[in-house]
Amino acid sequence: MRKFNVNCITARNILVCLLTMCLFISKTKSQSGTAYPLDPLTSDEIKKVVAVLKSSNTIKGTSIFNVINLKEPPKKEVLAYKPGNAFRREAFASFYDDGMDGMTEAVVDLNTEKVISAKHIPNVIGMGLEADSIASDILKKDKRWVDALKRRGISIDSVTHRSIFTADFGIAPLGHREQLVIPRLKGNKIDIEGLLACTDFTDHKVLKIIDEEERFSGKTDLDYFNKDSLKADRKGPKPLIIIQPEGASFEIRGQEITWENWRLRYGIDNREGLVIYDVRYIENGNERPVMYRGSMPEMVVPYGAPDLLQASYNFFDAGEYRLGQATARPLSFGADAPENAAYLPATLIKESGQPFVLDSAVAIYEQYGGTLWRHGDVSRRATDLAIKYYATIENYDYGFTWIFKQNGTIQVDVELTGVVEVKGVHRTDEMDEPDKNDLSYNGKSFGTLVHPHVEATNHQHFFVFRLDMDIDGDQHNSVMEMNTVPVPAGNTNPYSNAFAVEHTGFTTEKEAQRNVNYESNRNWHIINNAEHTIYGQHVGYMLMPGEQAKPFVLDNSLLRKKAGFLNHQVWVTQYAEDEVYPAGKYPASNKVYDGLPEWASKNRAIGNNDIVLWYVAGLTHIVRPEDWPVMPAHHMGFSLMPFGFFSANPALGLPYPEFLKNLSSGNDKKAVPEKD
């Protein structure tokens, strides 16, 4: 009996296949494709933006860039574009001048090499900058700070500092870059608890020191993750190598991907990270629009301990720290994505405005998708197309994968891993009562002990997805809510077993502010009012929520004022070109409010219109001991599933693959595939 039979594949064949695959990847990287209105800025274009801003005296020598991005052309122009036609090419830049309040925004026409507009916004704060490393220089000159450390037996020379935005907790003048500065011993990754400094980085001065000496400030022998000391102390499984001897089934041309019946584009935005554009399903030669633009333009991570530091840990990871230039990470071959992936670069910028290319920023690959469909002894194997991107923000690592399936479904997967946020505490055993000097509520701590004196704080993650749906076009879309309800006992339900689905259509933005309800199997049906199936049903797609969380941050909190999108898990707005960032352009700002709730308050018409669907995916993380020192990857997400987009199963006509027939032949352990 044969132990292993893969159609005479030997180690030598595997090596040949891997070499072939590497050649494919190399070829894919070198393809330049054709220019398109939504293509990200190239290195040359980014250099041109900076040169134009300099020559026009729009920027000074001290200017520090938050972002330089493509300013996407109006949607109507992109939809009307034909290959070979000229198109507008503009760039948006947001930058900060050291010592000056606020931010400046500029738009540059790359075709004419001129500044179209330049506007200073005085009362806003931009994103995290490398220039914010001035914290130590400011604090070591402050006698109050030096004395507070000395009372703890700590020398100013033995500490380092990190800082976070204070947002609405701040006391600096509006538009000043106020930061909450936290000290920690050099070589130690636990903060010195109870000592904070509200610091104005614009004026380079300390505004206020918060000193709670009773809090834990000792040094702990922390088993913190360190890649340099990582040791492999267990034996791994036998090799599992994913190969495609005949090459990949998808084609990449520039930023365009075609695969099976799908055609779409992708790009890397310096703020939003991975963006999916112009998704179409090709049916009988007809390209049917599904989604014009899909992205995750904002996320927030509130922490659950009742002190100023934890309350300020409301990281708006896209709007404050960016999912592109500051946090994008290359994908590890075979680990972050499989061996058969095409690993593609992205062009990002440094804060100086200098472009750089990040290799292996995106992975595009086919993966085994399980059973596509089955009945009796007849079944079909599913293959999916995946597009993956990774960002590291402070301690957490986030993977974002858009998965396109042969049955027309789009699945979005969010992968959370990295290192959880920790704080120093007096207790050393989980069975101990919280120390009187540690924060607690009715004898309950606000986190999980993962090491003596080390507590991982309870927290939540919320991801806001912006889905510009264009089901068979952009002018006649609507959203209906679907709730499954039991039929009351009586003549209409004599056996008490009947249930039905109620459809509620939304006509205005205020009606469409909704929450997930798993008890009623609540979903949302995005339809085209003008198109129908052969049975008279509206063509459409259904938003199917995945893992969810209700925010525990109270309604009257400052965070809920800033992150009003947390008030509901589903929103629908009328399309507007400049409504992209659900917490506003500059969420780090003090007492500046903008974003999704303000837009939806206009209560515009969303029935039979061009609409945008917003989905807020949530996760509550009560840390486990197993999450330390590095958290195993946790997956969450949602699906966009065709509901009436097709009149029947679109994957019914797929054949049983020939290579599976060959692999199964001669092996009595495998069932013989059906005859054609």
How many Å apart are CA 149 and CA 378, to the nearest integer?
72
Do 199 and 134 belong to one domain?
A: yes
| Residue 638 CA: distances (Å) to CA of 176, 230, 459, 642 | 39, 34, 21, 13
Within a domain: residue 423? no
Do 104 and 69 belong to one domain?
A: yes
> Each residue of 116-169: pLDDT tens digit?
999 999 999 999 988 889 999 999 999 999 999 999 999 999 999 999 999 888
Sign of CA dihedral 648, 652, 654, 659: positive
How many Å apart are CA 186 and CA 184, to the nearest integer?
6
Does 640 or 16 have the greater pLDDT score? 640
| Per-state percent for the chain, helix, strand, coil, to nearest 5 | 15, 40, 45
Within a domain: residue 201? yes
Task: Give the end of a domain, one of 159, 188, 219.
Answer: 219
Residue 182 and residue 189 in contact, taking contact as beta carbons nearer than 8 Å: no
pLDDT-wise least confident of 7-16, 362-371, 430-439, 557-566? 7-16
How many Å apart are CA 56 and CA 454, to the nearest integer?
53
Do 83 and 114 belong to one domain?
A: yes
User: What letter would DSSP give residue 80?
Assistant: H
Quick one: average pLDDT of 439-460? 94
Sign of CA dihedral 78, 80, 81, 83: positive
CATH of the domain at 65: 3.10.450.40
Within a domain: residue 83? yes
Within a domain: residue 186? yes
Residue 343 and residue 333 in contact, taking contact as beta carbons nearer than 8 Å: yes
How many Å apart are CA 170 and CA 606, to the nearest integer?
38
In this structure, what token pair is assigned to residue 339? 């061996």
CA distance from start to end of the chain = 28
| 176, 180, 184, 190: CA torsion to nearest 10 | -140
In this structure, what token pair is assigned to residue 8? 């005479």
How many Å apart are CA 215 and CA 193, to the nearest integer?
6
Do 67 and 105 belong to one domain?
A: yes
How many Å apart are CA 317 and CA 611, to the nearest integer?
26
pLDDT band at 668 (very low <50, low <70, confident <90, very high): low
Indicate the burial class of 207 (C-beta count within 10 angstroms; 0-12, 13-18, 19 or more).
middle
Q: Which residues contact 476 (CB under 8 A, 6 or more apart)?
A: 528, 529, 530, 531, 608, 609
In this structure, what token pair is assigned to residue 259? 């695969």
How many Å apart are CA 508 and CA 505, to the nearest integer?
10
| Residue 43 CA: distances (Å) to CA of 49, 213, 354 | 10, 51, 8
Do 110 and 61 belong to one domain?
A: yes
In this structure, what token pair is assigned to residue 267? 């790009």
Residue 420 and residue 412 in contact, taking contact as beta carbons nearer than 8 Å: no
Residue 266 and residue 259 in contact, taking contact as beta carbons nearer than 8 Å: no
How many Å apart are CA 303 and CA 420, to the nearest integer?
11
Within a domain: residue 404? no
Question: What pLDDT score does 673 carry?
Answer: 58
> Each residue of 493-548: pLDDT tens digit?
999 999 999 999 999 999 999 999 999 999 999 999 999 999 999 999 999 999 99
Residue 397 and residue 317 in contact, taking contact as beta carbons nearer than 8 Å: no
How many Å apart are CA 460 and CA 476, to the nearest integer?
37
User: CB-side exposure of 440: number of CA atoms within 13 Å?
Assistant: 17
CA 112 to chain centre: 34
Q: What percent of the chain has pLDDT over 90?
A: 79
How many Å is the Cα radius of gyration of the chain? Answer: 27
Do 137 and 104 belong to one domain?
A: no
Domain count, the chain: 2
Question: What pLDDT score does 675 carry?
Answer: 54
Residue 371 and residue 380 in contact, taking contact as beta carbons nearer than 8 Å: yes
Amino acid in position 411: Q
3-state SS, 276-298, equals EEEEEEEECCEEEEEEEEEEEEE
Q: Which helix (H) or strand (E) holds 570?
A: strand 570-574
Task: Give the end of a domain, one of 203, 219, 235.
Answer: 219
Do 139 and 188 belong to one domain?
A: yes
Question: What pLDDT score does 30 carry?
Answer: 33
pLDDT-wise least confident of 105-109, 432-436, 630-634, 662-666? 662-666
How many Å apart are CA 345 and CA 324, to the nearest integer?
12
In this structure, what token pair is assigned to residue 107? 């738009």
* Alpha helices (runs of H) in 235-328, residue ranges in sequence order: 308-312
Amino acid in position 354: Q
Amino acid in position 56: S
**Res. 192: pLDDT tops 60:** yes
Q: Which residues contact 360 (CB under 8 A, 6 or more apart)?
A: 330, 331, 333, 343, 344, 345
**Res. 465: pLDDT tops 90:** yes
Q: Which residues contact 26 (CB under 8 A, 6 or more apart)?
A: none
Within a domain: residue 152? yes
In this structure, what token pair is assigned to residue 548? 């969810």
Task: Give the end of a domain, one of 119, 139, 156.
Answer: 119
Q: What percent of the chain has pLDDT over 70?
A: 93
**Res. 43: pLDDT tops 70:** yes
Within a domain: residue 95? yes
> Residue 95: which domain range?
43-119
Quick one: average pLDDT of 358-381? 96
Residue 514 and residue 543 in contact, taking contact as beta carbons nearer than 8 Å: no
Do 102 and 150 belong to one domain?
A: no
Within a domain: residue 75? yes
